Amino acid sequence: MLMTDSYGIVPGLTTSRETYESEFRWGSQFQGVFANALIDGASVDSGNSPTYELRPGLLLGQVISTGKYKQYSPTATDGSEVAAAVLVEALRMQDFNGNNVDRFYAVLVGGPIQGSKVLGLDLMARQQMDKFIFDDIFSIPGNHWFPWKRFQTKTAAYTVVANDNYTLFDNVGATAAITFTLPVLANGYLFGFRVQAGQNVTVASNEGDNMIAFNDVSADSVAFSTGGELIGGMMVVYTNPGATKWIVENRSAGANTVTVAT
């Protein structure tokens, strides 16, 4: 059944329903890359009232498990902490009965944008949006590059997956040792592991015998496991260009000892 809230309205101008921020794009209207997107019905625009009415220019992330887009949130853990797109048209995420409903619409995934007018933008999002050209890039020092796209906390054993690429893991709140198992070798992987709770943290190869660590070119795993030398420990693990080895770098805050298992 088709529903509308305009049937029977008295002729003439009605009160304003919504006001929007200024145009967030700049340059030619043809200088943009668009993609079809399913917008999650639970999405909100926290700066608007009501929050279920999303304004153009709202920054979006993509939920890994569903593929749906929702508002970008740097503290999320479902994938929407990575800025992926910008909403180009206003969307109401509730129907006339007050139910949240998904919406299918195009989103901007690349092109020129005005940084000051993108809703929800922060410096982390800027470095994630490598397909966008910001109008204020010359007025903000630096190129906004940062190695980590996601920050994840794990308190139990975890197998790292491809979608975790460029993620920095920590063990905040862990009460026991944790082992991170790396994915099958592939070119272009980079992961970080930081010890923030005083528990052993081990990073293990999926295949074994292919980690380049201190004094070992074919290690199975590396770990922070020396008592009194755990908190502040950090290692970065990435693949070589041929995807034949994991390269391990110790980037610890102090003299944290990395234990190598062969």
Q: What is the pLDDT of residue 150?
A: 86
Q: What six digits make up the tokens of 130?
A: 């490598």
DSSP string, 138-198: TTSSS----S-SEEEE-SS-EE--GGGTTEEEE-TT--S-EEEEPPSP-TT-EEEEE--SS
Residue 91, domain member (yes or no): yes
Distance between CA atoms of 234 and 255, rounded to whole angstroms? 11
Q: What is the pLDDT of residue 174?
A: 97
Residue 24, domain member (yes or no): no
Q: Are 39 and 69 in contact (CB under 8 A)?
A: yes
> Can you name the residues that pair with 94 across neighbouring β-strands?
100
Task: Single out the residue in 83, 106, 134 at which a domain terminates.
Answer: 134
pLDDT at 25 over 50: yes
Q: What six digits make up the tokens of 46?
A: 């926290």
Model confidence over 159-188: pLDDT tens digits? 999 888 889 999 999 999 999 999 999 888
Average pLDDT, the chain: 89
| 242-260 mean pLDDT | 90
CATH of the domain at 46: 2.40.300
Residues 162, 119 share a domain: no
Residue 16, domain member (yes or no): no
Model confidence at 138, pLDDT cuts 50, 70, 90, reads low
Q: Which domain holds residue 195?
A: 150-261
Model confidence over 185-206: pLDDT tens digits? 988 899 999 999 999 999 999 9
Check whether the bond before 56 is cis (ω within 30° of 0).
no
Please tell me which residue, 133 or 18, carries the higher pLDDT value: 133
pLDDT at 140 over 60: no
Residue 115, domain member (yes or no): yes
Model confidence over 122-137: pLDDT tens digits? 877 887 888 898 887 6
Model confidence over 54-113: pLDDT tens digits? 999 999 999 999 999 999 998 888 999 999 999 999 999 999 889 999 999 999 999 999
Q: What is the pLDDT of residue 18?
A: 64
Q: What is the pLDDT of residue 20?
A: 60
Number of domains in the chain: 2
Q: What six digits make up the tokens of 89?
A: 């048209």
What contacts 148, CB < 8 A, 6 or more positions away? 166, 167, 168, 192
Residue 21, domain member (yes or no): no
Residues 154, 124 share a domain: no
CATH of the domain at 176: 2.60.120
Task: Single out the residue in 134, 161, 189 at which a domain terminates.
Answer: 134
Residue 232, domain member (yes or no): yes
Q: What is the pLDDT of residue 64?
A: 92
Task: Single out the residue in 109, 134, 159 at which a domain terminates.
Answer: 134
Residue 175, domain member (yes or no): yes
Instruction: Tell me the pTM.
Output: 0.69
Residues 66, 130 share a domain: yes
